[in-house]
Each structure stands twice: as C-alpha cells, then as structure tokens.
Structure 1
Amino acid sequence: MNGLTEAKLRALAGGRSFERGLGYVDAVSGVEVGDGWIRASIHGTERYEAELALGGPGELAGACDCPYGQEGNFCKHLVALGLNVIAQQVDVPRRRDTARDRARGLDAWLCGLSREELLTLVRDEIAEDRNVRRRLELRAASASGDLAGVRSRVRELLDIGPFARYGHVEYADARAYADQAGQAVSAIRSLTGSGRAADAMVLAREAIELLAGVMESVDDSDGWLGQIGADLADAHHEACIAARPDPQDLAGWLVAHVLGDADSLTDIDPLDYEDVLGERGMTALRKLAVGAWQDNRTGWAEKYLMERLAKAGGDVDTVIAVYADDLAPDGHTHLVIARELDTAGRPAEALEWAERGIRDTEDLATVDTALVDYLSDRHTRADRLSDTVAVRRDHFNARRTLLTYRQLRAAAQAADRWPAERESALALLRADTGRKGTHGGHVLVDVLLDDKDVDAAWQAATETGAHDGQWLTLADQARGTRPADALAVYLRLAGPLTRQTGNTVYERLVGLLLSIRDCHRRLGTPDEFTTYVTALRTAQKRKRNLMRLMDDHGL
C-alpha cells in the first residue's frame, strides 16, 4: 500500500482524530486486503466497519460507518486501520494475494458444484441464517408476482418486535434494526427494477407509514432511521417516475403526506414530483394545498406548503396572503412581506408594509430591530432624512439603550439635526434614573462616554452611580485632564484584585498599576507611586507570576 504513511493519516484526520486513533489500533480485527482497498472491523463502544482506498499515486481515502465517518470525515477508526496496516506493511502483499486466491478458489468451487449441490448449499444457508432466508424470500415473492408475499416480508422487516425491549429499541440495537429495515427498501426498489413500479409505489407508501409509526419507539441518535426514511422517499419517487400514476391521486397523497406526521421522516418535497404530476396534477396539488390552508390558516405545515407552491409559481400575492394571515406582533412578518415585495420589484408596497409593521407593533420596545433598520435604510436611500430621524427617535424613546442612541445620533447628524435631538434624548435619560446599561451601569453614563463628553459623564456617574467598568472607562478618558480623580478610581479598583489570584487577575492588576503610575507622573508625585508599589510587592511577594509580570513592565 504505497502512499499509506503516518504523516498522510495525520494530514487527513487532523491532530485530534489521529491521536484518538492511536488508542484503537489494537481494536482492529478481521483485516481484508483487496486491489487498492483494505477493510476491517474496529471494536470500541460499538463495532464499526472501516475501509481505506488508494487511488492514484499517493492518493488515500477512507470511509467508515461511525457517525463521524458518515458525515464524510476521516475518523479515528480509519486512522487505527491505517496504523494497523503500517505496522504489518510487509504482510500486505501476501494478504492481498491470499485474498485473491481465496476468491478464485471459492468461485471455482461454486462453478464445479452440480445444481443439486448448489441447492443443498443454499438451503443450508437459509436454515442457518435468518437474514439470508428473508432476502431470498423477498426475491422469490417479487419474481413470482406475489405482492401479498412481498408486503408480508416488508412488514416483518419493519417490525421492531425482535429488537425491542419493553416496546422500545435501545441505542445499541438501533443500527441492527436499521440494517434490517434497509432490506425493505431494497425489496421495493427491486420491484421497480423488475417492471412492477405500481406495486413498488404502493409498498413504499405503506412502508413509510409503518416506519413513521415506530420512529418514536427507536433511539435513533445516530440518524440511521432518518436515512432509511430518505431512502424510502427516493424509492417512492423512482416508482412514481416509472409507474406514472394518476396525477390527481398522486397530488392527493403528496398533500396528505406533507401535512401528516410521516413527513418529518421523509421530508418529501411535492415540487420534486412536478414532472410526474404534469399540469393537471400540479393544478390539483395547488387546489388541495389552498383548501388545507384555508381550513387551518395557522398550521405550520399548511403555511409552508402554500409558501413553497406559491413561490415556485411566482405567485407573490399568494405568498403575501399566507404571511399576512398570521402576523407576528413584533413586526417580523411585516418585514418578511416587505422583502418579498422588494424581490418582486414592488418597492412602494414593500415600504407600506414596513411602515404598517411599525404602526401595528403595540410596544416599540419589542419591535424586530431589523424592521426598524429596514425602514430607516429605505427612508435614507430616498433622501427622506427627517423620516429616518423620526423612526430612530421613536425607537430610542421606546428602547433607550446605547445602541439606539448611536443609531439616532447617526441619523440626526446626517440630517444636520443632532444638537436638538441630543438634548431631548439626554433629557429622557436623565429623567429615567432606573434604566441600566452596560454591566448594570446607567445608560446616561454610557451615552455620554460614547459622545466623548467626559466631564458630563463623570458628573452623571457621580450623581446616578456607575458600574466599575464605566468608572474604569471614565478614568481612562479623564486621566489627562483629571489625573487626581482618575487615580482615586484606579486605586479603588486595584484594592480587591490584590486579594485574588490567577493570571487573568494579575494582568488586570498590572494594567491598573501602569495607569496609577501615569497619574502620579502627571501629578508630579512619582515618589508616592514608588512607596505604593514597594508596599504592594512586599505584601504580594508570594505570587511569583504577579512579581514576574510586574518585572516585565518595570513596576
């Protein structure tokens, strides 16, 4: 197996999976070598089948039926198989030759058996292996046209009884049940392949209902049954393409299925059947979908089906009607409608829906902010700057936060109206002493800091209170003009940190010490800082990481 190296395995798997694979090398068993491939079983919490394949020079790929491998990843089991093979590299050519010899020998032996001897062999296998018997029974029933026999076998294959404990299939048995259920899919597809697509279509529908009926009783954490459901949906589609059933009957089944409980198993999209349905079937499908929606206008499945069909047909008005029948109180649905109308080239109607969304929202504090952004953007692009300011002002008045303040400021500055708007906004915040902002501090302090109005922010913090984070920002911004006030803040914030440990704490403390030193320099009192730092070092000398960090910063 040229090209199979530890470096290549690590590159394909990544460091984490490679390291985990090291612990599974001894769990590899049943290694089989063929032309360009190696297969084996890997036993861990579960048993998985893995296969490595070599393409061109140096090309390596792998597949494993573990959940991670099923997602297309090069998993730890493939790493373990590769490492196992590398450890026995000298033996690989011999194993490959041995495998070829065994295959040729088996084929030659079978060819040499008489008809009676072959029958005896098959009968013995049937008697010893239930799965072999079931597969052959299905093929026999299919070949003889025995639909009742095939139906009976399919029902047996989908029966959870042999795998269930107290009526439930546990996680450890789910894979085995899924493997058995997969045989039912193969049987249905074989019917289509043998020219009996109409029977395959009927059985596929029955199998979907049967599997959907037991889903809640199976621990399908790894998604095995979900894959079987998807395979059954494909088998049904293939059968319909070949059988060409009555379009109206097919439309009726599709609508009933999509609106029923089994849809979550198969995720069938009726539009995938458009070629089979034809014009007559699609007309029936739309009519049935409209009827179902009218009977249950708030049903999620009914709304989704209507939306899919309307969008596929370019029927924007129907799409809007579906949305408009169940408007969200926060204006989100109005926004969805507006965007649909924009896409359809109907901007005036889109704007009307966006404005209606704002009006219909009883409390602007709960409005979908994306709707506010959309409407503001539309007004701005139309050079309706006063309207943009009004939207932002109303939103700020309802939801007084730093973000809405910034948005109001940007809109008002663009309209050359910021001084008056700012005065009104600050008046609201000053009157609203209970409103909290960043880290629980007052919003007024946040917005004044954001405006770089340091003196006003300091006064507001003194009068209304502020969070430590706000005081730190205040001190940082005021240090150049109010070093004594800033120094008092830094010293207060540093005190509690000296009683804590941890590298993150030490980094914060050293940052404060640097700020304290700068304040003393501005105040002309460097000796006081030296005294402070000396006392701090004496008290904190056991914290070696803190001492090292202080040394690094010249403290």
Structure 2
Amino acid sequence: MGGLTEAKLRALAGERSFERGLAYTDEVSGVEFGDGWIRASVRGTERYEVELLLGGRGMPAGMCDCPYGQEGNFCKHLVALGLTVIAQEADLPRLRNAARDRTRGLDAWLTGMSRDDLLALVREEMAEDRNLRKRLELRAASARGDVAGIRSRISELLDSGPFARYGYVEYADVHAYADQAAQAVDAIRSLTASGQAADSMALAREVIGMLAAAVDNVDDSDGRLGEIGAGLADAHHEACRAAGPDPEELARWLVAHALDDAADLTDIGPLDYEDLLGGQGMAALRRYAVEAWQANRTGWAEKHLMQRLAKSGRDIDTVIAVHAADLAPNGHTHLLIARELDAADRTADALEWAERGIRETEDLATVDTALIDHVADRYTRTGRPADAVTLRRDHFAARRTLLAYQQLRAAARAAACWPTEREKALALLRDDAERADPRGGRVLVDILLDDGDIDAAWRVAGEYGAHDGQWRTLADRLRPTRPADALAVYLRLVTRLTRETGNRAYEQLVSLLLGVRDCHRRLGKPDDFTAYITDLRAAQKRKRNLMRLLDDHGLSGS
C-alpha cells in the first residue's frame, strides 16, 4: 500500500503523536479499502472518521475530523489507522479485492431493485438520516424549480443551531456545518441553469445575507465560510449575467452590499459588474455611492467605495475630496493626497498638500514621519536643500531621536552646513540632559556613537548616565585604545549578569568575559584574568550550562 511504514508515519506525525497513536490501535474499526485510500473510525474522546491517502512511492497523507486533524495535522488517530494497515499488510490484497466485490455487489443489488423497492429504501434511509433528507429535499426543489422550496431548504441548511454548543459553532463542528451550507451554492446555480436566473439572482442575495448573519456565531478560523461566500458571489454574478437585471436596481444593490458587513464575506466588487451595468448603471452606481458618502463622510466603507469608483474613472479631484473630508491630525491623509496628485503629474498641487499637512499638525513630534520624508525629498529633488535642512532641523527639535538626527545630518551635509547644524542639535540634547531628562543624555550617547565620537560619548555617559547596552557598546569601541576603561565597564556588567540564570544570560555573560580576557591581554596581565575566571567559575559552578559554555570558549581557570 504505497510503501507505508512506521518510519513514514513517525515522520508525518512527529514523535509525540506517533507514540500516542500506538495506544489507539485497538480503537480502530470499520476499515474500508478503496483505490488509493483507506477509511475507518477511531474512538478517542469521540468517534472520529479517519482517511489515509496512499499515493504510490510518496509519503502518505491523511484527514481526520478530530480538532487537531482539522488543523491540518497528521494526528494520533491517523497513526493508529496506519499501524493497523501495516499489521494487516499480508492480508491487504485480499481485503482490497473484497472491498471491490462489495462495491460491485452493492451496485448490482441497487440496479436490480424495482422502482418501488428503491423508493422504499431511500425513504427508510431518509427517516434515519435527517441530513440526507435535507440534501435530497433541496435537490428535489432544485429539479422542480421550486424557488420557495429551495429557499426553505437553504434556510434549514444555513441554520447553525443544530451544530452550536451554547449558541456558538466551535471549530470542531465547523467542517460539518460548512459542508452542509455549501450545498446552497449548487442549488442557486442549478436554478440559474434551469432558466430561472432572475429568481436565482434574488435568492443569491438572500442567502448571502443569511450566511453573513451566521458568521458571527461560527469559529471560521480556516475560512470555510469565506469560501462559501466567494461561491455565492460567483453564483450571483452568473445569475445576473443570465438574467440581465435592471441596471439601476443592480447598481442600488451593489452599493448597499458594498457598505454592508456581508461585503467582507463575499468580496463582491461593484466594478466587476461594469459590463452588466453599462453607462446608465455605472452613472447610477456613482450617484448612489456619492449619496452614501455624503451621508457618512468618515465611514471607511463609504470612503473606500468612493475612492475605487473615482480611480476607475480617473477622477482625481473626487479622490482628493473623499480624503479631504476626513483628514488625520498627524498629516497622514495629506500624504495620501500628495501621492495621488504626484501619480497624476500634478506635482505643485502635491507639494502644497504635503506642506499643508506639516503646517496643520499641532505637534510636529506626532507628525507622520513619512510625510516629513516626502517633503524633504521633494525639496532636495527640486534644488531647495536649505528648505530640506530647515524641515529636518524643526523635526529633530520636536522629535529628538537618533533617526531624526541622522536625517538632519544627511540633509545638512548635502547643503554643506553640517558642522553648524551639528552643534545646534547637540546643544539641544545637552540642555535636555542638564534638565535631568535621562532621555536627553542617552540619545546624546547614541548620537555621538553614531558620529564616531567615542571619547565624547564616554564623557557624556559618565556625566549624564547610560543604559547597559550603551555601556557595552562603549567598552567594545574603547577596548583597543583604552583597555583599562573598557575593563571596568565589562566587570561591572559581568557582576550584574552573574545574578541571572538562563541560557540567554549565560551567552551574554560569556561574550563579556571574552572582552574581559582581551582587556587583560592588552594590559599585559593574563595571570590576573586566570585568577578572576577561576574565582568566577567556583562561585557559579552550580550553573551547568554556563560551565559548558565557558569550556566551549576556552574560558577555564587554573
């Protein structure tokens, strides 16, 4: 059977599921064989239906309706079935032949039954299986073109009540519910194919609403209901194409749907119906969209619909009007407008909107930094380097970060005025630090390090303070020329880390100790390091992982 082995099962399931599957081999029952598949029931917390797919020489695959299996995992129940199959390997040819004989026998028996006997059998099975009855009733209504009957049956199929526990369909039950709900798509398509496209179109819209109402009570983590929603959208489009609906009415429904929560389920795009709407319908579509937007100018769905329609008609002024009706206080919307205008080759208007966004932001520290970048870039590209420096200077004054400093530095160097701008920027941070603002001192350390002014960064760290990461960077940079200063920092950081546990702390500690060793070597005191590491190992000897790491890096004592 496709080279099924314990090794393949272990590789597919993982060690834990494989070991757990060993305990379930006695729970496998009702094994059925087909061409390339084997099915069975496995009793676990509940009875689960399991199917192994065996494809030639490749790895087997499988499906199980247990919660873990429905997440796409090769679960312990599949392992149990696989082990059962392997145990019966010698008997498999006979079992498969027997399965084929049973299938042929069943076909022959059904074929030989009289019409009355076959009807009696179906009625008997329907009485025992409620879901089978629902499926057959839907097929019968579809075959008759009975719209009322189809609507009633679909309503039953979409009723999540029988699958819900405490009013909610949980993940483990979604598969069965979705399989039942998916039959609605086939029924609608059958109605279209039977020449009742107008009824089919109306029914599709009703069913979309029913499914959207059900989604809130279903754990659709795998997107099964989303797939059904997409199927309903396709069925609706097919029905519209066959029915040729009134363009005005179709436009009204498309706008209403686009503004409804059900739009997330179907992803119906109004512009996908452009060929069916024609000129009259598209005009109506835009009219209804404008009315909806004017009634709710800040609504996301209304704005999104207006923007899509305006872009499709290359109506840039309408796009801008939609954005301008709901401007974000940080200038982000101004940036969107500027980008739209740039794309339309209206660069002067674009820059005006972008500059307006900066002016209208109450606090420059909160402005969208992408807007600052956009305007500064436009200044540079249009030969206005001094304006770019002014903008970057103002932004740094409001938002004193390393990134804002780096951007100011780049602009000032391009304008050949960096030394002056640098002194102004550093003076601001020194003022912050002297006012006992710890951020000022730490940002100043980062900036001096970024400038490569290590000695100044060291002085600032000593005067105003720095965090451990900055001290570590300073020590690493100073080690080649000032090993004694670097050593003092390393030893202080090592002392803090020896109080911690965990592999991450141990790795950081070893890295510091390598720096300590190098400092002792540069100072010509290797024996002092040997004594130091010997004492440290003795004090930390209970930390076995740390000892192993020290050994791996040659950090051994006397």
TM-score by length of 1: 0.87
SS in 2 for 1:432: helix
- Work out the CA distance in 2 between the residues paired with 1:60 and 1:529: 57
Provide closer, same or farther for how the CA distance between residues 274 and 513 of structure 1 changes in structure 2, counting only shifts above 3 A.
Answer: same
- Check conservation: 2:205, 2:236, Cα contact below 8 A: yes
Query: How far off is 1:292 after superposition?
Result: 0.8
Query: How far off is 1:253 after superposition?
Result: 1.1
- Work out the CA distance in 2 between the residues paired with 1:342 and 1:78: 58
Deviations 1:366-417 (A, max 9, x none): 1122222223333333443323322222221111011211221222223222
Q: Which residue does the alignment assign to 2:364?
A: 364
Q: 5 Å matches for 1:184-263?
A: 184-263=184-263
Query: How far off is 1:19 after superposition?
Result: 5.9
Provide closer, same or farther for how the CA distance between residues 93 and 327 of structure 1 changes in structure 2, counting only shifts above 3 A.
Answer: farther
Provide closer, same or farther for how the CA distance between residues 51 and 344 of structure 1 changes in structure 2, counting only shifts above 3 A.
Answer: farther
- Check conservation: 1:435, 1:443, Cα contact below 8 A: no
| CA RMSD of superposed structures (Å) | 3.3
- Work out the CA distance in 2 between the residues paired with 1:278 and 1:10: 60
Q: 5 Å matches for 1:271-350?
A: 271-350=271-350
Provide closer, same or farther for how the CA distance between residues 207 and 42 of structure 1 changes in structure 2, counting only shifts above 3 A.
Answer: farther
SS in 1 for 2:33: strand
- Check conservation: 1:17, 1:79, Cα contact below 8 A: no
Q: Which residue does the alignment assign to 1:351?
A: 351
TM-score by length of 2: 0.86
Provide closer, same or farther for how the CA distance between residues 134 and 470 of structure 1 changes in structure 2, counting only shifts above 3 A.
Answer: closer
- Work out the CA distance in 2 between the residues paired with 1:134 and 1:495: 74
- Check conservation: 1:22, 1:80, Cα contact below 8 A: no
List alignment gaps of at least 5 residues for structure 2.
Answer: none
Q: Which residue does the alignment assign to 2:153?
A: 153
Provide closer, same or farther for how the CA distance between residues 494 and 130 of structure 1 changes in structure 2, counting only shifts above 3 A.
Answer: closer
Provide closer, same or farther for how the CA distance between residues 58 and 436 of structure 1 changes in structure 2, counting only shifts above 3 A.
Answer: farther
Q: Which residue does the alignment assign to 1:466?
A: 466
Query: How far off is 1:313 after superposition?
Result: 2.8
Provide closer, same or farther for how the CA distance between residues 457 and 210 of structure 1 changes in structure 2, counting only shifts above 3 A.
Answer: same
- Work out the CA distance in 2 between the residues paired with 1:271 and 1:9: 49
Query: How far off is 1:323 after superposition?
Result: 1.6
Deviations 1:94-126 (A, max 9, x none): 333333222222222222122222222222223
Query: How far off is 1:423 after superposition?
Result: 0.4
- Check conservation: 1:42, 1:50, Cα contact below 8 A: no
Aligned residues: 547
Deviations 1:484-503 (A, max 9, x none): 33332222222233344444
SS in 2 for 1:32: strand
Q: Which residue does the alignment assign to 1:114?
A: 114
SS in 2 for 1:192: helix
Q: 5 Å matches for 1:74-85?
A: 75-76=74-75, 85=85
AA of the residue aligned to 1:214: A
Q: Which residue does the alignment assign to 2:17?
A: 20
AA of the residue aligned to 2:486: A
Q: Which residue does the alignment assign to 2:270?
A: 270
- Work out the CA distance in 1 between the residues paired with 2:548 and 2:372: 52
- Work out the CA distance in 1 between the residues paired with 2:512 and 2:520: 12
List alignment gaps of at least 5 residues for structure 1.
Answer: none
Q: 5 Å matches for 1:512-551?
A: 512-551=512-551
Provide closer, same or farther for how the CA distance between residues 61 and 347 of structure 1 changes in structure 2, counting only shifts above 3 A.
Answer: farther
- Check conservation: 1:62, 1:78, Cα contact below 8 A: no
Query: How far off is 1:424 after superposition?
Result: 0.5
Provide closer, same or farther for how the CA distance between residues 537 and 38 of structure 1 changes in structure 2, counting only shifts above 3 A.
Answer: closer
**Percent identical residues:** 69
Query: How far off is 1:216 after superposition?
Result: 2.8
Provide closer, same or farther for how the CA distance between residues 395 and 195 of structure 1 changes in structure 2, counting only shifts above 3 A.
Answer: same
- Check conservation: 2:10, 2:18, Cα contact below 8 A: no
- Check conservation: 1:191, 1:197, Cα contact below 8 A: yes
- Work out the CA distance in 1 between the residues paired with 2:457 and 2:44: 63
